[in-house]
Chain A
Amino acid sequence: MSMKITNEIKDATIIMTLDGELDASSSVVLDEELSDPEIMKYHKILVDCKNLHYISSAGLGVFISHLQRFEDAQIKLIFFNMQDKVRNVFEILGLDLLMTIVGDYEEATTIANE
């Protein structure tokens, strides 16, 4: 099971679609993607988790490691369309209180534009 990451750029927003399983090997790819200096030009990163079936602790670790950096640069990181199973993993770890996880794309854009 591999991971496919696609980026769509709309104005000052990046919509990142995660497709597959975020495990130890695919989280390396995600880390490269999020470390790209280009990404700092945008103020909003919306992560579409509709097809994210599984997230390992390594995958969570990648988001956590970038969290502080995005916050300092005032970049909004918003997850949407998250499956219950994956959302449960975020919640158990307590990440739902730190990260913005919303229902669908409309909700995400509304929050992003606040």
Chain B
Amino acid sequence: MLYKTNAKSLSILTAIISWALLLASILLSVESTRQAGTVKLVLPYIDNLLIVVFIVAVFVSQRLSTESLKGIDFISYLWNLFSKAGVAAYLSVALYLGYRLSTSYANLSSPLLLHIVYHINFGMLVLFLAKAFYIWRQLLLYHKSRFLQIAWDWFELLLGATLLLTLLNFNYTSFIFLPLLALLGIYILFLCTNLKWVAFLNFNNKSRSLILLGAILLSCYIFARFFYQLSGSPELVIDYTDVGFLLLAMLFVGTYTLAAFLVSLFSLPTSSVFEQKSEDLLNFQRLSQSIQQGQSEAQVYDMLFESTIKAADASAAWFEVIRNSEPEVTHLLNINNEQTDRIRHLLLAYNIHNIDYINNNLDRNPGFRELLLPWKSLIILPIKSKKHLSGALYLLKDIEQGFDRETVNVLRTFTSQTILTIENLRLVTESLQNERYKEELKIATQVQESLIPKTFPADSWFEISTHSAAAKEVGGDFYDFLQLSESRIAIIIGDVSGKGISAAFHMAQMKGIFHGLMQQDMAPSEFMKQANSALSRCLEKTSFITSALYIIDYRMKGFVFARAGHCHTLYYNAMMDDVFYFQTEGLGLGIIRDKSYNNHVKEMYYDYNPGDVMVIYTDGIVEARNAKNDEYGEDRLKYMLSQTYHLEAEDIKYAIINDLQDFTGPDNLYDDQTLLVIKFKLTQPNE
């Protein structure tokens, strides 16, 4: 950066010094010619060197300053060129006219003054050319290809090389160089065909650029005319038209300006088409990006409405959103509700409601003619995905054949993009909603897990091992225990009919009932009666709960239990070496909701022996099915216990669960499964 600034100041300084020296040298030679008789002092080589140094310095400084110009605001480029360099031409005219006026008024000729004016104008010409040259370079290389960049670099190099002619004082008009210069001229013509930037101007900008380009063109003309008029003038000791470089630079600047002017002028009538297309493209982009920007459906419809009206140049339009299969007009343009109602009724009568429909000559249709509408063309664009109709767009035009195929294609692209956007927006919303539900369910799962005891009191007189698996996030199976006294423990198992959330709620309720009632230490049958009475008031009609409650007393070496519609208890009696199910009667809870339930629950007392095993489970175990739709069944469960009773409770449980999973196959859980294995031990606690 520092280097650049330094280089720029240095080149400006060099330009000023060389210009001043050149002026001094010219004035000196003028003075020497005036004093006739003395030896004519001509120093062409030094003059030429100074000219070249000046030109190079100005071009370098302009090259450095235009490099900072960026962006696609082409009008500002043109304005920059005109305001900073183009006006120099007008100044030079003013200066020359001032000189002519003053000399003719005073009626004297001052070659010194003429040379000063001529030399100032030369300075301004070089500045103008340098500025124009590099600004045109920026524009010419807009959207450049590699080839164009190389072509331009060569052009700059070749043009620079022509300065050598001046430096060595060759006459470029000699026959040797003329063909070479002509070739360079053709090269310039080729470069001047690169005018891509003009296409990116809209109508307004093109009009403005035409004025600026015209002014710049005039500047070129003024400079050219000024220098050619004075060329060969006997009064002047120096003639800058001899500098071939300036001629070529002028040729380039002039041709390019002219080409830009003409292209702008002739593309003016078609610019609206290009503008429309680029706006359509921009609107597509906005529509497709609206998901990322978190916009709502209403905003998407706003965009659709605006974009399609612009794309079709519609004179009237309305948009209706379909909510609960009722249309609701959300956008209106140049049409009132009464008119939309009439059109909609007519379409309903024709049974062409909410379908793709184009009528490019409404007057030909008697139905539309009767409505006395000021429009002649109508298009209906439903916003419709495969299964869902979100809305319909109606566009009207006051001319016949208003919607040609090209326009319809663009409109359809808009609507399909809108459908896609709306669908995606809905999916995003839905997935967010689902995510929230999942989170809630996760919490429910955690809450439910906390309701089921993880550890039973460790005691030496019995072992207990548990297994539970819910088919869904939450389930209706439960088990729990309560230490009633030092030697007595109550164990409950239950299964709420149904699955999922409602079952989980009732399961939590049942746990509350268990803890509430068992604080009073009651017999299992009494518990069932009271639980039935409590549940009768809160269970919905089709729900019921099966449960079994066991109170084990190790001091008495026995347990008492009641079964309320729950699966039969599987038991291994070590003394008799027998595996069997307790066949007791008992009705599920919530089936009969009055006092008569009391007759339907029985209680049983049983003495246990060390080594006895009790297996308590829910129907999810015995009703588990395999691929062939066979049930696991009570018999297989019984067989499993008869093979494993000698093991620890934990190992019996694993043996049964593994066998069950072998039977059903993996990932085949349709009902909640709970299994408790209790094994009575020989060891007595220290008393």
> In whole angstroms, what is the CA distance A19 to B619 when docked?
23
Residue contact B542 to A93, C-beta cutoff 8 Å: no
Decide yes or no whether A103 CB sits under 8 A from chain B. Answer: no
Contact in complex: B591, A98 (CB < 8 Å): yes
Residues of B within 8 A of A98 (CB): 587, 591-592, 600
Residues of A near B567 (CB, < 8 A) are: 92
Q: Which of B586-608 contact A (CB under 8 A)?
A: 586-588, 591-593, 600
Contacts A57-B497, A92-B568 given; does A97 touch B587 at CB 8 Å: yes
Pair A94/B542 contact, Cβ less than 8 Å: no
Residues 484-518 (chain B) with a chain A CB within 8 angstroms: 495, 497-499
A16 to chain B, nearest CB (A): 18
Interface size class of A (residues with CB under 8 A): 10 to 19
**B673 located at the interface, meaning its Cβ lies under 8 Å from any Cβ of chain A in the complex:** no
Asked whether, in the complex, the Cβ of B541 is within 8 Å of the Cβ of A65, the reply is yes
Pair B542/A31 contact, Cβ less than 8 Å? yes
**Identity of the chain B residue whose Cβ is nearest the Cβ of A61 in the assembled complex:** B542
Chain B CB count within 10 A is highest, among A31, A60, A61, A85, for A61
Whether a CB of chain B sits under 8 angstroms from the CB of A102 is no
- Which chain B residues border A62 with CB–CB below 8 Å? 542
Q: Is the CB–CB distance between A57 and B544 below 8 Å?
A: yes
Contact residue among A58, A68, A85 (Cβ-Cβ distance under 8 Å from B542): A58
Question: Are A65 and B585 in contact, CB atoms less than 8 angstroms apart?
Answer: no
User: In the assembled complex, how far is the CB of residue B586 from the closest CB belonging to chain A, in whole angstroms?
Assistant: 5
Chain A nearest CB from B500 CB (Å) reads: 10
Q: In the complex, how many angstroms separate the beta carbon of A51 from the nearest chain B beta carbon? A: 15
The reply to whether B498 and A58 form a contact with Cβ atoms under 8 Å apart is: yes
How many residues of B are in contact with the other chain, CB < 8 A? 24
Complex: A64 Cα to B593 Cα, angstroms: 11
A93 to B566, CA, bound (A): 6
Q: How many angstroms between the C-alpha atoms of A44 and B543 in the bound complex?
A: 25
- Complex: A67 Cα to B590 Cα, angstroms: 12
Q: A65 touching B587 by the CB < 8 A rule? A: no
| Inter-chain contacts of B542 with A (CB < 8 A) | 31, 58, 61-62, 64-65
Q: How far in angstroms is the closest Cβ of chain A from B83?
A: 82
CA of A98 to CA of B36 in the docked complex: distance in angstroms? 148
Question: Which residues 60-97 of A sit at the B interface, judged by CB distance below 8 A?
Answer: 60-62, 64-65, 67-68, 85, 92-95, 97
Contact B568 A94 (CB under 8 A): no
Q: Answer whether residue B524 sits at the interface, using C-beta atoms and an 8 A cutoff.
A: no
Q: Tell me if B382 is interfacial: C-beta within 8 Å of chain A.
A: no
Interface contact A57-B498, CB-CB below 8 Å: yes
CB proximity of B431 to chain A, nearest CB, Å: 27
- B307 on interface, CB distance cutoff 8 Å: no
* B498 and A94 form a contact (CB under 8 A): no
The interface residues of chain B lying within 8 Å CB-to-CB of A64 are 541-542, 544, 591
Among A65, A85, A94, the residue within 8 A (CB) of B565 is: A94
A24 interface residue, CB < 8 Å from B?
yes
Q: Which residue of B lies closest to A67 (CB)?
A: B591
- Cβ contact within 8 Å between A58 and B497: yes
Please state if B585 and A97 are interface contacts (CB–CB under 8 Å): yes
B476 and chain A: residue at smallest CB distance: A57
Task: Verify if B546 is at the interface (C-beta below 8 Å from A).
Answer: yes
Asked whether, in the complex, the Cβ of B568 is within 8 Å of the Cβ of A61, the reply is no
Q: Are A61's CB and B587's CB within 8 A? A: no
Interface flag for B521 (CB, 8 Å)? no
Our pick among A68, A85, A97 for the contact of B600 (Cβ within 8 Å) is A97
* CB atoms of A61 and B588 under 8 A apart: no
Q: With A and B bound together, what is the CA distance between A57 and B546 in angstroms?
A: 10
On whether the beta carbons of B498 and A93 are closer than 8 Å, the reply is no
- How far apart sit A113 and B498, CA to CA, in the bound complex (Å)? 36
B631 at the A/B interface (Cβ < 8 Å)?
yes
Shortest B623–chain A CB gap in Å is: 8
Q: Are B588 and A93 in contact (CB under 8 A)?
A: yes
Instruction: Knowing A94-B587, A98-B591, say if A61 contacts B565 (CB, 8 Å).
Output: no
Q: Please, which residue of chain A has its CB at the minimum distance from the CB of B566?
A: A92
Known pairs A24-B499, A57-B544, A94-B585; list 14 more (Cβ under 8 Å): A57-B497, A57-B498, A60-B544, A61-B498, A61-B542, A92-B546, A92-B568, A93-B591, A94-B564, A94-B588, A94-B600, A95-B565, A95-B587, A95-B591
B positions within 8 Å CB-CB of A: 495, 497-499, 541-544, 546, 564-568, 585-588, 591-593, 600, 619, 631
29 A-B pairs whose Cβ atoms sit less than 8 Å apart in the complex = A24-B498, A57-B497, A57-B498, A58-B542, A60-B497, A60-B544, A61-B498, A61-B541, A61-B542, A61-B543, A62-B542, A64-B541, A64-B542, A92-B546, A92-B566, A92-B619, A93-B544, A93-B546, A93-B591, A94-B585, A94-B586, A94-B588, A94-B591, A95-B565, A95-B587, A95-B588, A95-B591, A97-B585, A98-B587
